[in-house]
Structure 1
Amino acid sequence: MDKSQKQEKIVSMFDEIASTYDVTNRVLSMGIDKSWRKRGCDKTFALLDRDRDLTVLDVACGTGDMLQWWRERGEAAGVTFSRFIGVDPSEGMLKVAKEKVDYADFVVAKAQQMPLADETADILSISYGIRNVVDRQEAINEFYRVLKPGGMVVILEFTKREDRGLKGKIVDFYMHRVLPTLGGLVSRNYEAYRYLPDSIEGFLTTGMLTQELEQAGFTMQHTEAFSMGISTLLIARK
């Protein structure tokens, strides 16, 4: 299977689980993912120069969860916005997003090929999506292109674990045994939630992802692990 076929298979899988995606995420994370997303937004606003109305671009936006968090946390912090944009290759996911988020513009596109002008966004986020991009370095280069100078790329992701001690074993047990079964029950798509732990195991460590961001020209601003290292927040500046 070549890269193009692999990417299309992943997109098709997300089309299939779009209708149950939000509920399954809340069940699998026990709602903790909300705190991870809030932390990502709040930390970004604290680091970003806010001398103008902001444009937020959420890549692999799925059902629009992160766009909602950007607006909610921004309004709480006194941030003003000029535009929200959601990009995703899955039309099924975007159909749900459009019903939830009526203040954003949505674009069907891959992360590595976005039909957006240079220096469009002040903030570019991708939450639990960079792992699913086959041509990852191309996507990161694209992130750099569409961000304004001084803009921030914000990544939330399940990075590959380096800790193989007791905590690591506990996390591995949940990710490889509990998550696929529970996710399959809720979504009725066992293959999709078998894919998740397998994709994490084949992904990068936090250090490796940091290197790829720096190779594209970004300067790291913040890295933070959550919940025994299950989730990682990375923020870098153009």
Structure 2
Amino acid sequence: MVDSRQPPGDNPDTIDFGYERVPREAKAKRVGAVFDSVADNYDLMNDLMSMGVHRAWKQFTIQLAAVRPGEKVLDLASGTGDLAAGFAPRVGASGRILMSDINHAMLSNGRDRMIDRGLVSNVDYCLANAEKLPFADDSFDCVTIAFGLRNVTDKPAALAEMARVTRPGGRTIVLEFSKPALPGLGRIYDVYSFSVLPWLGRNIAKDEPAYRYLAESIRMHPDQDTLKSMMADAGFVRCGYHNLTGGIVAVHRGYAP
């Protein structure tokens, strides 16, 4: 059955945690608990939930980023490092990849996977909050965040920070779930999201609430055009997006002026 609940009215002192409203200062802790729980099964669940299509979404993002030898790349909410692993050989020995995540368990898993891949010579790690990045202005040629922005408490603040640390002419890329654009796809996607995802969470990851939050957080995330406008408001120019899989996922790109 499709979960048809509507989120409650807005309140400046609260923020969405899925369909629930929580104190703004509590969201990061609640999100952290979700990812502490799912970290060890993260890659397996991504494959099951998307039937492997997440790999194509990430490969498209890597191609769109068009990083070159010698560039510095910041990958926020890096998780288990799929984007970072794609960037590392492209920037080469003269470039650097910085994997960053607010969650220690996810960053630790990501570091282990990068070591397993043999990608250690040009990759660094940083535990950091996307809303308050500990980097100087104009530090990176490219900033990326994949499936992480919807979990941020203050999305405008995070986008402004991405704009601040992106060098003039550099680009920031956001890969995130979005709103289905094909007629009829939304209904099918709702049934899948609120039936299959919780079932997988309950039977595979042993945490149904975490995957119900996943489905709800996707519904609460801004649609394609709203996020494009938010990036422009944050200071990016030439903002645009590409819909993937009928708009279930979108890749947004903006340039620092």
Give the TM-score taking structure 2 as reference length.
0.84
Conservation of the 8 A alpha-carbon contact between 1:55 and 1:81 = no
Partner of 1:109: 128
Conservation of the 8 A alpha-carbon contact between 2:100 and 2:125 = yes
Equivalences for 1:60-209 in 2 at 5 Å?
Answer: 60-72=77-89, 74=90, 81-102=94-115, 103=120, 104-161=123-180, 165-209=183-227
The Cα shift of 1:94 comes to 1.0
Task: Identify which range, 21-30 or 216-225, moves more after superposition.
Answer: 216-225
Query: Partners of 1:24 and 1:211 in 2: how far apart?
Result: 31
How many residue pairs end up in the alignment? Answer: 229
Gaps of 5+ in 1: none
Residues 146-182 of structure 1: CA distance to partner in whole angstroms, max 9, x if unpaired? Answer: 111111111110124466x422211221122112212
Q: Given the alignment of the two structures, is residue 211 of structure 1 paired with residue 229 of structure 2, yes or no?
A: yes
The Cα shift of 1:184 comes to 3.0
The Cα shift of 1:80 comes to 6.5
Amino acid at match of 2:110: A
Partner of 2:72: 55
Conservation of the 8 A alpha-carbon contact between 2:81 and 2:110 = yes
Query: Partners of 1:60 and 1:237 in 2: how far apart?
Result: 20
RMSD, aligned α-carbons? 1.8
Partner of 1:15: 36
Shift in CA distance, 225/81, structure 1 to aligned 2, threshold 3 Å = farther
Percent of residue pairs bearing the same amino acid type? 31
Moved over 6 A (4+): none
Query: Partners of 2:226 and 2:171 in 1: how far apart?
Result: 19
Query: Partners of 2:161 and 2:244 in 1: how far apart?
Result: 27
